[in-house]
Structure 1
């Protein structure tokens, strides 16, 4: 290994920088390439699929791993690395030549990029936020601070540690942060992070020190206390927000200028949607595909501006609880819904707008380029038109938003007077100007001096031709050699004595003169001064525009909200939605409701609507739903939840009519997967989700449960399902939809006055078989038609037929579940075509066989004087009694598998025999 004394100067310089950033990939500029070395080179080659090589940077023979990217492709490659969780440090050359007394060119770190501190437009997702969060935990509470440095959003909330796992996971699921800050030494697996792609960064403990954080926040906002920000008495909130400030300052201090305020909020100000519910309802992305297509966002997002697209995401995941605010939203949507011409005019205005939020942020940061500033000029030109449209409306919300629009005419006038458009035609000598003539006198003088020198150059060519008699003489310019006089070889004998040779070509020689050199120096000096002065003027222009930053952000926020209202109105009109009626009670009445996502995906195909009638204070508090597989139970459950959510985000709903009492939480337990990393089975995950619901639900909640207890044995599952239903009905008293294949639960309707039983309608046809009608009707069903679904899924025919035979055995009482499991190889044959019967029926111990059981025996056992048996086990025992006597029947009884009523009926039957 080479020692420091044998290393090249460039290698030494690189290692000095790398020592300062050991946890980052250091991109070290060497001419037209950014190079990486050592372990960084291996990462670059692997992640970017580029070539890794080696090179010697010492006097010894050691070769250093090397991988590089062209400087012009920097943003593209850096974006990929940051998205994969790497921190990038960019070290650029600031001189092209080695300064006197130095061994290597000067280099400085110009940028540090992490997933949560990006502000470059080409590295950011345009239609969603790029959140950085920090978590600070104490003995009694935990706080979550959030920032999007590209838009200036900065907010903080906190939870009691009792609510921590559920509440924090729900908020992280909603925000979908790209990077999370934790104090060093803390374990990442302490928290339930919804995304495995999120970068977790451990920061020094002093970042999270409450006293230091408070001082840091006060210094940043220029205040003496944090009372105005709502978190002065919450130490963990101060610690988390202070850590954000410290981290952003370390990564890119220029971004701090965008954080002008801190917003403290409570998650209880909105409808609570835990992480499972957000995923189960496919709010922002499809759980199946992971894409927006197939999600509620995919249906509702018809926003036009990037600000509106980000706002609609927040709106969907933060349903309102304030009835007045919801009424205002619905009224705004209704006016746009009913006035199609007005919608079209709004659309035309919004189509000319870009990302006003992020452009304003880059101007404030001082990094906006000319096209972005000129884009702002175009955006502001639309604001008066948009405001006029809004002021023509009757909606109180639209009129309020109109007052928040500020065209910032002073900003527009300043940009118009200062900047030259790239394609604008300019007078000779002003080509390539950034700053418009007349805006700055000193700059105009410099351009005038260049014009004068260039005119002298033109006249020089004519004068020298006349003076020398060389008609082909010409004056030219080369970036390498500067200005010159070119004379062909045939005319070299005619050149004057004051010509100094500068360059030799094949057919000509190039010369300079003292006068030419003097004017060249004037031009080159003026060009350098212009570049420096224009940059200074431009940065000053950005600072002047940034004085209106708050007005620009307020305007952008108002436009975003209008865009969302317009999107809701457009979707509602296209999909035939209706305005819901909202109230403070417990009703939930939906007439001809439709699933918004399924209907949208069907795209014109018929969707069967269904009604819902519930009231937590009335007779239908719990809706128990039975029915076959694939009949539409899960779709119906999600449909009710989504219609409720749509109503409370201010959108119209897919129904003929809807009246909804405000819901404080929506809970869903629909489907489950195991959590291998946490060592949890599918059933454990299901039970944990159910426990969360039972602990946190209130009488104002909406609870959707699908197949509770299915991950364990039949009797365990049935017992758990019944206990849960009883608790929700009697103790929680929330509006509950409970889908189940435990058809025995339907009998609970006789015991629970606020429970009603429904089923999914089917049509059994000899020719078509089973037809799912997808209608919810009153009543229950005793069949699940699982074998029919298996047939539809392409299960091998032999297995389907075998399953049908086993099912027939169980349903006719000619066998027990235990018998099937203990004698799996028993042959199943058909006794006759007209009356199929099982040839062999084995009771529990396997000691008794019955040949050719007659239909009358089945009827005697199943439908005799004692009535129908509640369990297949009891029916099988009755058959044994009929064919083999009381002793055999008593030996075959499994007392754990029959109900008390069946036991009494069996005892009576055996006594009679």
Structure 2
């Protein structure tokens, strides 16, 4: 049977679908957008639509699902938020006048990176679209960066470009910016197949763009770029926008170039570990540093605050400029309060300007713009008052309140306009004579209708007769059925029959209706034309609006940081300027944890690195606060270098270039990496990338493998840091043996988090960091706090006592010789630093031989012949049994059983 030829409509659909194979095609048909074939099947499931079929009775029905045009935005948001693209297909001509098939075309491609609406509703998140091209060393030039990257927020017009040295830096920058979609070159020298795969693994949408077409707009927007790579990647990004958006993009600002190394750099792991913009556990804003700092009153202020937070500064002058402005606001409560009161009335100026450029602004948006501009003069007046700090006065003088634009909207647009801009009722009385004349005609219409109704009531004798209007039927006369017999035959023409009434019209009423409709249509058209003229006027002032938005956003952030500084008792940090890398923090606090506790509950701690100290080894029990201590140092550094005050009584810091963290236990099973492999990879990132100006936080390195392996790696990493990097490092560990390194390494300092055991054996955390090493880890006591069964804990204590006894006990005779030789063998594997460490008496756990006595005892075969003669057969049997044991796989319980077995063998010999 021959396959049925597709209809002209489906031919048109397939032509469009072939151009956008990776997008859902929303095909406009009347009042609905239709999905067909695979799009319909998949879309119906995702959007919970009813799946129907076109040509249901045919041999090959076409799956179909429809969406009402007035509700389409919500469905598009669902798909785009899920990582899909949506191609909007509109009718390009009036179906009533079209000959043959109505012309249709894609008017916009909406993608995760070009979506304009905010997902969370408060507008404080950017939605960045990025482009990346390969260049430099990838093309054989080892002196250049390997990649160029550009990114834009289409909803604000912010456009920036940079160069990055390797793939890791690209992925990290994309993560920092929370990019949703990445544009790559489709082919040629600038294509990046390997990077495309890596980006896809991160869950980002990858799009491809063909050759860039010559464009005056691209030339203008990239005119300040000097490096060809940045020009190339920015042109690629802009071409993608022109091809997908198919409309004016006049709000895009000329590209700003930046260097990643100009900011304090930290990777995605560090951002997560420090809970900078979201809580690592809940993935929500609450519980993050950003949530604590975000006292901003505007959406654009919130976005700027997040940018400051993820890109702290390294330039001391710029840091101090922000600090001084925060201090000025902090010291002037009344000026700050006035400014923040006015900021509450300021809408998102950046996105309103973008709407004007994109042609999507409506009358209600214009009213929001007017109210925003009307709040600026009072804000400016408060900043420029005579008593105000000169820094704030200067900020106020830089503001352009755009009086002309505010006045225009005030005069032209009614205070509460409708959403639709085509149905009238937009323009203020007195703004336009023609609109006023139409309005007068419509007002006179009401008088005419009232008079006509009275005339017909008197003529028919029906007092309940009404002259009404209905959008579907126009003007009509309504008479209840009980009064129909009073009507003179042929007086009215029947128009509609209802259950209890009849509706009529007359030639006179129809003539008047035509006049009114003509006046309404002309008024609607005139008001729409006036609206377009006002919108065009706003569009002309986009640059001024964007500049004002930047000034207002900065004031908003500075005032918010001043609020936090005052309410949270933060202080202004000082910075070293003489190359000295010493660090002093007095009574430092973790700002987020402190905010979650009651007043006075948080235990503050001092942090001190003098000129010679580079590494702090932090010991102490779990739950005592080692990680909190480490994180608070990093957060204080981030806050200080973003220009904020910090949670401490006093802080004097060097400028750091990077922060590296290795905290927590996370695997990456998707990429085949165990917890220990992830741990080592993150450690390697710091060891390969850190400099003497970096801050490194290592928590429990080496715990993911066997005891000896882990301890050996931990010690080797510490010694590598000391000998090669000289970075400021805080290293928390339960390997107490490592504390012996401080005796032979002047750059290493021991500190511990205090804890006390009460008389009944309960553990009490002091949360106080004190000099020196901890005496033990209190692991069993912490396990008791977690609620483990008492019998289990009792058994653990017995095992621990046995292990400790093994480690320090001595036996007589030949066995003593064996143990001594074994201790010497272990000693030979320890670094000279630890062998030469102080031999003063220390508690159990302070030396390698005492705390970890799990070394292999030398077998009898390894002893000299003279000593072999002293070993009887039973002893030889016990030693052989011990020789067969794999210590790396021996559990504590198995170790006890082994000891018991060896004792039985010795007793049999006795």
- TM-score with structure 2 setting the length: 0.83
Aligned to 2:393: 399
- 1:540 counterpart SS class: helix
| Cα offsets for 1:446-482 (capped at 9, x unmatched) | 3344445554444444455566776665433333332
Structure 2 SS opposite 1:129 = coil
Deviations 1:424-457 (A, max 9, x none): 9xxxxxx962112332333333334444555444
User: 2: CA distance between counterparts of 1:603 and 1:189?
Assistant: 51
* C-alpha contact (below 8 Å) 1:149/1:255 kept by paired residues: no
The question of whether the paired residues in 1 share the 8 Å contact of 2:808 and 2:850 is answered with no
Matched with 2:24 is 25
Question: Which of 143, 147, 158 is 2:152 aligned to?
Answer: 147
1:803-842 per-residue CA deviation (whole Å, 9 max, x = no partner) reads 22222111112799xxxxxxxxxxxxxxxxxxxxxxxx9x
Gaps of 5+ in 1: 425-430, 817-840, 845-861, 899-913
Please say which of residues 774-783 and 456-465 is displaced more in the overlay.
Answer: 456-465
Q: Secondary structure at the match of 2:183?
A: strand
**Is residue 2:48 matched to residue 1:49?**
yes
Question: Structure 1 residues 33 and 381, CA, compared in 2 at 3 Å: closer, same or farther?
Answer: same
Residues 360-380 of structure 1 show CA distances to partners (whole Å, capped at 9, x for unaligned) of 221232211111111111111
Q: Which residue of 2 aligns with 1:75?
A: 73
Change beyond 3 A, Cα 1:51–1:469? closer
Q: Is the 8 A contact 2:209 2:240 kept in 1?
A: no
2:161 to 132, 136, 156: 156
Contact kept, 8 Å, 1:759 with 1:780, in 2: the verdict is: yes
2:592 corresponds to 1:600: no
Verify: 1:382 aligned to 2:384, yes or no.
no
CA contact under 8 A between 2:150 and 2:161: conserved in structure 1? yes
Q: CA deviation at 1:174?
A: 1.5
Alignment pair present for 1:646 and 2:639: yes
CA distance in 1, matches of 2:86, 2:879: 76
Q: 1:778 to 1:339 in 2, by over 3 A?
A: same
The C-alpha deviation readout for 1:656-704, integer Å capped at 9, x for no partner, is 1111111111111212422223222222222222222122212211111
Please give the alpha-carbon distance, in whole angstroms, between the structure 1 residues aligned to 2:91 and 2:13: 12
Give per-residue Cα distances to partners, 1:882-903, cap 9 Å, x unaligned.
xx996459958989999xxxxx
Residues 495 and 121 of structure 1, relative CA distance in 2, 3 Å threshold:
farther
Query: How far did 1:769 drift?
Result: 2.7
5 Å-filtered alignment, 1:603-682, equals 603-604=598-599, 606-615=601-610, 618-682=611-675
Give the Cα separation in 2 of the matches to 1:868 and 1:88.
63
SS of residue matched to 1:812: helix
SS at match of 2:113: helix
1: CA distance, partners of 2:598 / 2:458: 81
Is the 1:470–1:491 contact (alpha carbons within 8 Å) kept by the matching residues of 2? Answer: no
Q: Determine if the alignment matches structure 1 residue 321 to structure 2 residue 314.
A: yes
Is residue 2:804 matched to residue 1:811?
yes
Cα offset for 1:626?
1.8
Aligned partners of 1:86 and 1:114 also within 8 Å:
yes
Aligned residue runs from structure 1 range 656-805, under 5 A: 656-805=649-798
Q: 2:85 aligns with which of 59, 84, 87?
A: 87
SS of 1:775's equivalent? strand
Question: Structure 1 pair 871/68, CA: closer, same or farther in 2 (3 Å)?
Answer: same
Separation in 1, partners of 2:98, 2:696: 75
The answer to whether residue 475 in structure 2 is matched with residue 480 in structure 1 is no
1:116 alignment counterpart: 113
Contact 1:621/1:755 (<8 A) preserved: yes
* Residue 172 (structure 2) aligned to one of 170, 173, 177: 170
Corresponding position of 1:127: 124
Report the CA distance between 1:94 and its aligned residue.
7.2
For 1:254, what is the secondary structure of its paired residue? coil
Structure-2 separation of matches of 1:501 and 1:873: 108
Q: 1 CA distance for matches of 2:457 and 2:533?
A: 47
Residue 283 of structure 1 and its aligned partner are, at CA, apart by 0.7
- 1: CA distance between counterparts of 2:279 and 2:848? 45
> Which residue among 261, 264, 267 is the counterpart of 2:260?
267
**Structure 1 residues 723 and 451 mapped into 2: Cα distance closer, same or farther (>3 Å)?**
same
Task: Give the distance between the partners of 1:558 and 1:436, measured in 2 at CA.
Answer: 31
Matches of 1:873 and 1:464 in 2, distance apart?
Answer: 113
1:416 aligns with 2:410: yes
**What displacement does 1:268 show?**
1.1
| Other structure's SS at 2:467 match | strand
Q: CA deviation at 1:157?
A: 0.9
- Give CA-to-partner distance per residue, 1:539-582, whole Å, 9 cap, x none: 11011012221221111112211121122122222222111112
Deviations 1:760-812 (A, max 9, x none): 22212222432221211111134222222222223333333332222211111
Deviations 1:107-136 (A, max 9, x none): 554443211112246786611111111111
Of 60, 63, 69 in structure 1, the residue corresponding to residue 61 of structure 2 is 63
Shift of 1:263: 0.7
Superposition deviation, residue 262 in structure 1: 0.6
Distance 1:811 1:121, change over 3 A: closer
CA positional deviation for 1:621? 1.8
Separation of aligned partners in 2, 1:793 and 1:885:
53
Q: How many Å separate the matches in 1 of 2:178 and 2:870? A: 67
What CA distance in whole angstroms lies between the structure 2 residues aligned with 1:506 and 1:791?
A: 80
Partner of 1:902: none
Selected match of 1:291 from 284, 287, 295: 284
Change (3 A) 1:190 1:18: closer
SS of residue in 1 equivalent to 2:426: coil
8 Å CA contact 1:663, 1:702 repeated in 2: yes
Return closer, same or farther for 1:198/1:560 CA change in 2, 3 Å cut-off. farther
Question: How do 1:540-551 and structure 2 match up within 5 A?
Answer: 540-551=533-544
Instruction: Tell me the distance in 2 between the aligned counterparts of 1:300 and 1:77.
Output: 34
Q: Distance in 2 between matches of 1:796 and 1:66?
A: 61
8 A contact 1:363–1:373 mirrored in 2: no
CA contact (8 A) 2:287 2:592 kept: yes
Spell out the pairing of 1:299-448 with structure 2 (5 A cutoff).
Answer: 299-392=292-385, 394-395=388-389, 397-422=391-416, 433-448=425-440
User: Using a 3 Å threshold, how does the CA distance of structure 1 residues 523 and 108 change in structure 2: closer, same or farther?
Assistant: farther
| CA 747–395 in structure 1, closer or farther in 2 if over 3 Å, else same | farther
**Alpha-carbon deviation of 1:498?**
7.9
Aligned pair 1:562/2:567, yes or no? no
State the Cα RMSD in Å: 3.7
Q: Structure 1 residues 125, 197: closer, same or farther in 2, change over 3 A?
A: farther
Choose the corresponding residue for 1:240, options 225, 229, 233: 233
- Relative distance call for 1:494 and 1:765 in structure 2 (3 A) is closer
Aligned to 1:837: none
CA contact (8 A) 2:364 2:417 kept: no
- Three-state SS of the structure 1 residue aligned to 2:623 is coil
Q: For this pair of structures, how many residues does the alignment match?
A: 829
**What are the superposed Cα offsets for residues 522-552 of structure 1, whole Å, 9 maximum, x if unpaired?**
2222222222222221111011012221221
Offset, 1:507: 6.5
Q: 1:15 to 1:528 in 2, by over 3 A?
A: farther
- Aligned with 1:589: secondary structure? strand
Q: 1:780 to 1:605 in 2, by over 3 A?
A: same
Q: Secondary structure at the match of 1:69?
A: strand
8 A contact 2:585–2:608 mirrored in 1? yes
1: CA distance, partners of 2:3 / 2:855: 89
Matched, 1:179 2:175: no
- Alpha carbons of structure 1 residues 449 and 196: separation in structure 2 relative to 1, 3 Å: farther
Q: Secondary structure at the match of 1:277?
A: helix
Partners in 1 of 2:465 and 2:803 — Cα distance?
A: 110
Q: Deviations over 1:83-114 (max 9, x none)?
A: 001111233457886446436x6655444321
Give 1:69 shift.
3.1
